[in-house]
Structures are given as C-alpha cells and as structure tokens.
Structure 1
C-alpha cells in the first residue's frame, strides 16, 4: 500500500482514517453505540475511548499495509463527520482471493442510500485495485435492511449458518452471501 486509498462518491469520501483522527472515530462510535449494538459483538468500554479508537486506527492501518484487512471510514465530503464504515476483513490471497465485508451506518444517516453508494464504490475498488475474486457478506435473518442492501448490491445467497457469530452476547444465525467478480 504505497499511496493512501481514497474513493469518492457524489456524497462521500471513503478512506482509511489517520491516527490523528481518533476523535472522529470516537464520536461516531459513541453517538451510535445503542444503534449499532444489536448488530455487533459486545464491546468493552475501551472500544469507545479515545485511546481505544487510536489503537483501532493503528491496527487498521497495519492490517491494510499487510493486506489483511481494509477498515474504511465513510466521511462527509469535507471530512468533518464519519457517516458510516465498512471493512474488507479476513483477506485470503492465493487461490481464494477473497474477503469478508462488514459495515455499519450512523442512525441519522440511515435510509438515504449512503451505505449503498459507499459499498458500491468499495466493491469496485475490491474487484479493481485490491484484485479480489469474491467478497462475502453475512447478515442476521432478522436484519431485513441488510439483506435488501446486499441483494441490491448484487450479492447472492449461498447458504445459512446456524449460530454463526456471537453478536450482542448471543450466538446468531446468519444468511451467507457473496458477490463474485464477473471478469478475470
């Protein structure tokens, strides 16, 4: 990763955060704590601290340098507010060339098409410069919004996994989906 990754959509800028932007991540996490909790693992209090956010950004930058994961922040065009995030995680190269997609959006920005806009740009980047063949995304069956978003983005259902991930303290079933690069 020689140059900073930067994507633009009509209403967002998408990039990795710098360590100096820890407050931006902290504000996003604390303002959306209750909103995101039902869809995430249980979080410790350090997850919401400035130091915890600084450490998360450092770990994310290292993961991107090592081609293990890409934790993107979706920002307003002026970079003053974090709207959402998505991550290409669990990168596997070799004969697989795949990753898992995870995402979340601030409560106040839901329903505006911003998550679609951002992930659509991210998928193009994943199949372009990152050279993935497969992007996998899984969602809880009760998360209709997420299921509709993935379908709209061209993800296809591939299976159903019982008690797949521990979310908000409970082992939750997940619908398994993937999108495959059409050429190459």
Structure 2
C-alpha cells in the first residue's frame, strides 16, 4: 500500500467501458468541449462560472493546477474517456494524511450519458484505487438534497449519510444546503 501519491505511480485506470485518465494539458481541448457541451447541464450543481472559464487558456491553467495538485499528493483528478471523448470527471481532493487519512469526492457526467451506469463504473474502480493504493481511510461526498441521482449513486456505492449542512457550498451563485455522506475503507 502506498501512503503518498507520486508522479511515478500509474494513475490511469481502465474499466469495461471507460479509461480514467489523469488530468493533464494533453486533454485540454477535450475538457473544453466537455465543459461547453455540458455548461447548462452542470450549472445547477457547480459554483457559478465566469464566462472566461469556458476558454482554452482558463482550462489549460486549470489542467496544470490539477496536475500540480496530483504531483504534490493533494488530489487525484481523472477525466472519464470513451475513446478520445471526455464524458465525465471524478476528483478526490483535499487529501489529508496523518490521523485523518481522508478526502472529498466530486464528479460529473455528460448529460447524454446519465443513467447508463458509467459513473458508478468509474467510481467503483477509482474508490478501490484510493483505498488500496493510496491507503485513505475515509472518502467524503456531499450532494444537494434535490439531486436524487447523486443520492442513489452514493448510496449504491456504500456511502452513508452523516449529516445535513445548511448553506454548505456556494453553488450556481447561491449558498446551498447539502447532505453529507462518507465511505469508510474497511481495510484501514
């Protein structure tokens, strides 16, 4: 078991239908296409995005920052690929070591691919990686109460409800309540 991320670790994961590729500037064009194509679909669930967020320069800088965060051992950022097309993202951020050994999970999927089990497939393999290769003890995920898809997905993966946080995150320009969940590594 590895307790720290390292640029030498192979973070690429493969499932039956997807490749989870670590974010890098190599995929900036595909990431931009994904963001533009899903702008309205993701808007209710994400922070308000300025217009320049949806530019090649901004997404190149974002990809660099994500790659740097991975190299520093603070996060894992994956793009979900079908062939060369980005169809989603999953991110394990705010990795804390020491007695906590925890992180936060965030994810999104292309509007045309909802309900096909792709996110469940991606999260199953990435959660196993985070628990088995990185050695974390806890993965925390939150969702807005009206997001029934996320509620079902997290429940199906074994996440347990731990609480309800009022005005937890500023989403789409307004403070939004969230349901707090966590998944505990049974081996740690």
Give RMSD over aligned pairs: 0.8
Please list every run of at least 4 consecutive aligned residues from structure 1 whose deviation after the TM superposition is greater than 3 angstroms: none
Structure 2: which 5+ residue stretches go unaligned?
1-5
Task: Report what 2:16 is aligned to.
Answer: 10
The residue number in structure 1 matching 2:85 is 81
Which residue is equivalent to 1:138? 142
After TM superposition, give the deviation of residue 50 of structure 1 in Å. 0.5
Question: How many correspondences in the alignment?
Answer: 182
Report the equivalent of 1:129.
133
Counterparts of 1:103-118 in structure 2, within 5 Å, are 103-118=107-122
User: Per-residue deviation at 1:131?
Assistant: 1.0
Q: Which residue of 2 aligns with 1:46?
A: 52
Partner of 2:71: 65
CA distance in 1, matches of 2:115, 2:22: 24
Query: 1:23: Cα distance to partner?
Result: 0.3
Secondary structure of 2:134's partner?
coil
SS in 2 for 1:28: helix
User: Given the alignment, which residue of 163, 168, 171 partners 2:167?
Assistant: 163
- Alpha-carbon offset, residue 66 of structure 1: 0.6
1:71-96 CA-partner distances (Å, limit 9, x unpaired): 110101x3x10011010011111100
Following the alignment from structure 1 to structure 2, what is the Cα–Cα distance between the partners of residues 146 and 47? 24
Please report how far the alpha carbon of residue 47 of structure 1 lies from its aligned counterpart in structure 2 after TM superposition: 1.5
